[in-house]
């Protein structure tokens, strides 16, 4: 074949046009179009007998004509149905007919280079195995948001650069990717199936390697944890599932697999029927929220634990990493990579949460990885009248802007503190501390009223019971009594005169 490359280009163009829903483009047909290319055996890059997901099956195509792929594979993974041909052409959609909200994957003929496409969004792997997104008609200055239906968060423009695992994980959670130009919504792309497609792209690129599979693949020797995997009721749950890092390439799989398996083990016995499944899923959701809340509280405490002499883990992943490192010495390189990833996460979380209590410009110098005593604000060192007036003003400002109290209440609170300087009745403050902290959280994820309500309920639980929940998560154990008292002391420092 002399004109091999142009031919492939033409074929790929046809494929792309078809994927765009333009079957009848107005270009003049080349009557001598060579159909050998799409169905040549060399183009069969996948063996449809190798399952991509648990429960997937190979099936015969209902061919009436003289050409076509004789088999395909169909199945259900990550809440989306899929079918793919030996040439890699695949469709992922939330309905069995694969008719709506379709993520389509097409592959360059005779290569393992594939591209997922839905609307104006396309995704492909770069040479380093990272997902690279492309969105048509995007201009510089456009902003991107991920919306899960109720609330939305803005994502940085770097989603158009090769995705790191965090960003990929964020997009894999589903919802919609919104492109805004100014105040107007330019585009909205459903992310349903994004996770399955990214896993599929890597699976194809890895020549159907069994180590590259979507999550929920049966874990060897974990029979008890996988008993419910084949139940459709479990697959079809509209609730978000416990997250896992998608690939082994990211190096996080080994770390994530353990807690995921534990969670599944805890959830499975509960899932005896649909209702129980729902309950379990809600509990799982709440558990995740609780973890996030604890992490944030822990971060706040870490940043503001000046009185504390007890070393507090600087990063939420430290314990896990340490555990992994102690269990498996050869993975130290991966741990180092993890450490860097965790640093980035830590920075992000800190940036989102630091405005809760820290206004001091010295915050920029805070080393998150090595907590050091930080003065609680406002300071308590003034002794003269000017200083006291300044201090009172600062208190008033803080109560109004940071705590969110109205002026009258704030003044009353300060007066109350002045009048009852010897009184230690700050129980009410303690009880409100969590809510106050919560209401001032700048994290847009929790600004939503619904989520905030849930979190406030969780916060109350945490205040009353800081012990680990059912042994599911070990992080609450790090909430020591001292840390809890730190908040009391903090409020006392705000509301009461300096001792």
Partner 1 sequence: MQKTTSETGDSRRTGGFGTAVLFGAMALLAGTIYSISTTARTIFLAQEEEVIPIIAGGDLDQIPALMRGNLASATTSSKYGTQRREKPPRMCEMKPNYFANLDRGMDQPAGYTVRNEYVRKYRDRRGFLNERELRTAKVAWHYFEKFTQETTGLANSVGNYPSTTLWDTASYMAAAVAAYELCLIEKPDFDSRMTKLLTTIKTLELFRKELPNKVYHTKTGEKVDYTNKAGEIGFSALDIGRFLVWMRILKNRYPHLANTVDSVLLKWDFSRAIDPEGLLFGAYVDKETGETVYAQEGRLGYEEYAAKGFALWGFQPKLAHRAEPFLTASIFGVQVPYDGRDPRIFHSQNYVVTESYLQDGLELGFDLPQDDSTPDWLHSDGWRAEFADRIYQVQENRWRQTGFMTARSEHNVKGPPYFTYDTIFSDGYPWNTVTPRGDYVPDHAAVASKAALGLWALWDTEYTNVLYEAIIELYDPENGMFEGLYEQGQGRVEIFTANNNGIILTSLLHKVQGTILTPYTGQTEVWYTAYRDQDLRVKRQYPDPPQEDDWLPALRHSIQAQADF
- List interacting residues with partner 1 (CB under 8 A): 14-15, 17-19, 21-26, 28-29, 31-36, 38-41, 44, 49, 58-72, 74, 83, 85, 89, 91, 97-99, 106
CB of 44 to partner 1, least distance (A): 8
Q: Which is nearer to partner 1, 84 or 429 (CB)?
A: 84
DSSP assignment, residue 332? H
Distances (CA, A) of 359 to 75, 348, 407, 432, 441: 53, 17, 20, 21, 13
- For the chain, give me the number of helices (H) and strands (E)? 15, 12
Please report how close the Cβ of residue 62 comes to partner 1 at its closest, in angstroms: 5
In the bound complex, what is the minimum distance in angstroms from residue 33's beta carbon to partner 1? 6
Q: How far is the CB of 104 from partner 1 (least distance, A)?
A: 9
Please measure the distance between the N-terminal and C-terminal CA atoms of the chain and give it in whole angstroms.
90
What does the alpha-carbon distance between residue 9 and residue 41 come to, in Å, rounded to a whole number? Answer: 18
Cβ proximity to partner 1, 99 vs 387, nearer residue: 99
Smaller CB separation from partner 1, 17 or 257: 17
Phi, psi of 311 (to 5 degrees): -65, 130
User: Per DSSP, what are the bridge partners of residue 121?
Assistant: 118, 135
The crossing angle, in degrees rounded to 10, of helices 481-495 and 407-419 is: 100
Q: Which is nearer to partner 1, 144 or 200 (CB)?
A: 200
Q: Closest separation between CB of residue 85 and partner 1, Å?
A: 7
Q: Which residue has the tokens 């793919």?
A: 84
Distance from chain centroid for Cα 76:
22
Q: Which is nearer to partner 1, 18 or 206 (CB)?
A: 18
CA–CA separation, 140 and 135 (whole Å): 12
The residue (of 67 and 210) whose beta carbon lies closer to partner 1 is 67
**Minimum CB distance to partner 1 smaller for 34 or for 340:** 34
What is the residue whose two structure tokens read 């909205």? 188
CB of 105 to partner 1, least distance (A): 11
Instruction: Please state the closest distance from residue 92 (CB atom) to partner 1, in A.
Output: 11
**Cross-strand pairs, 152:** 147
Cβ distance to partner 1 smaller for residue 64 or 408: 64
β-strand partners of 90: 84, 105
Cα–Cα distances (Å) from 406 to 22, 45, 194, 401, 495, in that order, read 60, 67, 45, 9, 15
Beta-sheet pairing, 121-125 with 131-135: antiparallel
Cα(245)–Cα(171) distance, integer angstroms: 12
CB atoms within 10 A of CB 255: 21
**Separation of CA 233 from chain center:** 24
- What are the backbone angles phi and psi of residue 64, rounded to the nearest 5°? -105, -25
- Rounded to a whole number of angstroms, the minimum distance from the CB of residue 474 to partner 1 is 46
In the complex, least distance from residue 218 CB atom to partner 1, rounded to whole angstroms: 22
């Amino acid at each position: 074949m002399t004109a091999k490359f142009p031919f492939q280009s033409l074929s790929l163009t046809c494929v792309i046009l078809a994927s765009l829903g333009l079957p009848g483009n107005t270009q003049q047909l080349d009557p001598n179009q060579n159909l050998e290319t799409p169905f040549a055996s060399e183009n069969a890059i996948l063996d449809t007998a190798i399952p991509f997901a648990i429960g997937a099956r190979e099936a015969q195509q209902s061919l009436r004509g003289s050409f076509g792929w004789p088999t395909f594979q169909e199945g259900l993974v990550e809440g989306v149905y899929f079918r793919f041909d030996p040439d890699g052409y695949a469709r992922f959609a939330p309905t069995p007919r694969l008719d709506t909200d379709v993520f389509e994957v097409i592959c360059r003929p005779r290569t393992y280079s594939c591209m997922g496409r839905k609307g104006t969004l396309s995704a492909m792997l770069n040479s380093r195995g990272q997902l690279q997104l492309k969105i048509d008609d995007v201009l510089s200055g456009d902003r991107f948001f991920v919306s899960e239906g109720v609330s939305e968060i803005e994502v940085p423009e770097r989603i158009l650069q090769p995705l790191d695992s965090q960003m990929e994980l964020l997009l894999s959670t589903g919802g919609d990717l919104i492109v805004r130009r100014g105040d107007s919504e330019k585009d909205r792309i459903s992310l349903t199936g994004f996770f399955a497609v990214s896993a599929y792209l890597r699976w194809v690129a890895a020549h159907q390697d069994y180590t590259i599979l979507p999550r929920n693949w049966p874990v060897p020797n974990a029979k008890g944890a996988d008993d419910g995997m084949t139940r459709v009721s479990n697959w079809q749950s509209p609730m978000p599932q416990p997250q896992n890092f998608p690939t082994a390439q990211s190096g996080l799989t080994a770390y994530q697999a353990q807690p995921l398996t534990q969670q599944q083990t805890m959830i499975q016995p509960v899932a005896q029927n649909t209702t129980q499944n729902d309950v379990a899923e809600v509990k799982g959701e709440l558990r995740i929220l609780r973890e996030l809340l604890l992490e944030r509280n822990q971060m706040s405490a870490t940043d503001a634990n000046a009185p504390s002499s007890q070393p507090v883990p600087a990063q939420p992943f430290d314990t896990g990493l340490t555990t992994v490192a102690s269990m498996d010495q050869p993975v130290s390189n991966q741990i180092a990579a993890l450490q860097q990833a965790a640093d980035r996460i830590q920075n992000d979380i800190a940036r989102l949460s630091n405005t809760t209590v820290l206004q001091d410009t010295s915050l920029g110098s805070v080393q998150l990885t090595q907590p050091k005593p930080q003065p609680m604000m406002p300071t308590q060192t003034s002794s003269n009248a000017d200083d006291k007036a300044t201090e009172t003003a600062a208190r008033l400002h803080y109560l109004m802007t940071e705590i969110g109290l109205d002026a009258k209440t704030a003044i009353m609170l300060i007066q109350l503190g002045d009048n009852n300087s010897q009184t230690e009745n700050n129980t009410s403050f303690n009880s409100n501390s969590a809510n106050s902290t919560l209401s001032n959280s700048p994290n847009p994820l929790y600004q939503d009223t619904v989520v905030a309500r849930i979190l406030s309920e969780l916060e109350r639980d945490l205040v009353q019971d800081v012990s680990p929940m059912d042994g599911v998560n070990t992080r609450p154990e790090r909430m020591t009594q001292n840390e809890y008292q730190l908040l009391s002391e903090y409020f006392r420092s705000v509301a009461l005169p300096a001792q």
